[in-house]
Amino acid sequence: MLVKGIFANMIFSKSFGYALRGVLYIIMAGEKKPMVQLDEIASELAIPRHFLGKVMKKLVKGGVLSSLKGPYGGFCTNEITMETTLLKLVDLTGEPEEFTSCVLRLRKCNAENPCPMHHQIESLRDQWQTLLMSTTVGDLLRKDMADFIKSISVI
């Protein structure tokens, strides 16, 4: 049987991927100049220009990045950027949504009245959330810089 992208295509939205790669690009390009422009980010990362603009705007509003309009404007990092967790990026890029307790989409499943898989899945969810909460943007850059830079680039 073909095993499709159970995790790969579902856990994170495209918007999240754009946000993460955008932030990482701004950090790296920002080492050589004060401001990084949307046009550059979008073309370097092959992300739709205006859509990326909306994603970046959310990050700025969320305090994860800073921006400046006008000539010599663009995006830059701030004191929050490197400490931003992946969970924060998920929150900022996703639409606000209700929390549905049962992953299997069964009704009335909760800790008191658990579905048969409740505890196993709860464990996985906890591991997942722990990973997202404990990993910051800065962590990603510290671990394996050389290969990583290639990873966010075009194709």
Partner DNA sequence: TCTAAAAAAGACATCTTTGTCTTTTATGGG
Partner DNA sequence: CCCATAAAAGACAAAGATGTCTTTTTTAGA
User: Pattern 79-108, binding to a copy of itself, x per CB under 8 A?
Assistant: --------xx-xx--x-xxxxxxxxxxxxx
Please choose which of DNA, a copy of itself, none residue 150 contacts, taking the beta carbon within 5 to 8 angstroms, the exact cut-off set by kind: a copy of itself
Sign of torsion over alpha carbons 98, 103, 109, 112: negative
Two tokens, residue 130: 């722990």
Sign of torsion over alpha carbons 18, 128, 66, 29: negative
Give the nearest distance from C-beta 34 to a copy of itself in angstroms.
26
CA distance 61 to 22: 15
Two tokens, residue 10: 């579902």
Q: What is the CA radius of gyration of the chain?
A: 18
What residues between 71 and 100 interact with DNA by CB under 7 A?
71-75, 94-95, 97
107 binds DNA (CB under 7 A): no
Interacting residue ranges for a copy of itself, rule: CB under 8 A: 1-12, 14, 16-17, 20-21, 87-88, 90-91, 94, 96-109, 113-117, 120-121, 124-125, 127-129, 131-132, 135, 139-140, 143-144, 147-148, 150-155
